Amino acid sequence: MKPTILFFDSGVGGLSVYREVRQLLPDYHYLYCFDNAFFPYSERAEAEIIERVLMICQQLDQRYPLDLIVIACNTASTVVLPALRQAFRCPIVGTVPAIKPAAIISKTKHIGLLATKGTINRSYVAELICQYAKDCKVEKIGSTQLVQLAEQKLHGHSVDLIALRKELLIWLEQTDLDTVVLGCTHFPLLKEEIQICLPQVKYFVDSGQAIAKRIQSLLEDYQENKSEEMQALLFNQAFCTHDFSTLFQFERRLKQWGFATLTLL
């Protein structure tokens, strides 16, 4: 059984979700799209993001009929899910900041939301906080710089801890901040470095594992409609929308993540 699942993000962030899903469901057929031509999404208008995500998902669906789409990007998910659900028949799984589990796990009821500038200002997130974290003090940091640092790390560069610390500066003194929501899919990729800067934080929460379980249950009754020959031909592939200056090195790196090829769309 090999359902085709597309992971979509502006950059490497979605890999943090993909790794959880692949760990639980190793034999599925995975596609990954880096919309790097439009990176970073957090600096883009909402309408532009919706148009873009729809167009690229439709383009990929024509080539590789999709059984499920994961918008592995909080910035996009908080605006694009209704339009995608209208356009596609397959299940669409979004990624939204894990406010609810964070509010439950925090002992001090003082939590931080670390996300992009776009995400922290979305009404969707305000509603999540209002619904699930009423009893908590919620601090927010919106950062594009952290997204860039995660990109650099995954492209093989070392992480600039001074720059990272600078982004987190206002939380350094908040000694009872015990839980941080990694509300951008890029940030679990920097978890160790963030922990070094914020030693008081006991719990880092992201949505990766919950998404993996959700996909497992959504595809429980999946009926294969591909022939065995066709299934044998399906290999995991990544796509980008703009040439990476280091395309070949990056393609090599992606092999370690289980993607055989990286192709420009």
Q: Is 75 annotated as a binding residue?
A: yes
Q: How far apart are the C-alpha atoms of 194 and 206, rounded to whole Å?
A: 14
Residue that has been written with the tokens 């028949």 in this structure: 89
Q: Which of 147, 197, 210, 254 is the binder for ligand DGL (CB under 6 A)?
A: 147
Site for ligand DGL, residues 187 to 246, rule: CB under 6 A: none
Q: Which of 28, 41, 171, 250 is the binder for ligand DGL (CB under 6 A)?
A: 41
| Tokens found for residue 108 | 């001090």
CA torsion angle 245 164 111 204 (round to 10): 60
Q: Is 184 noted as a catalytic residue in this protein?
A: yes
Site for ligand DGL, residues 54 to 93, rule: CB under 6 A: 73-75
Q: Is 33 noted as a catalytic residue in this protein?
A: no
Shortest separation between residue 67's beta carbon and ligand DGL, angstroms: 23
CA torsion angle 149 18 113 76 (round to 10): 90
Beta bridge partners of 113: 140, 181
Q: Is 203 annotated as a binding residue?
A: no
Q: How far apart are the C-alpha atoms of 35 and 242, rounded to whole Å?
A: 7
Shortest separation between residue 53's beta carbon and ligand DGL, angstroms: 12
Q: Is 42 annotated as a binding residue?
A: yes
Peptide bond into 40 cis (omega under 30): yes
Q: Which of 119, 143, 179, 237 is the binder for ligand DGL (CB under 6 A)?
A: 119
Q: Which residues are annotated as a binding site?
A: 9-10, 41-42, 74-75, 185-186
- Binding footprint of ligand DGL on the chain (CB under 6 A): 9-11, 13, 39-42, 73-75, 116, 119, 147, 184-186
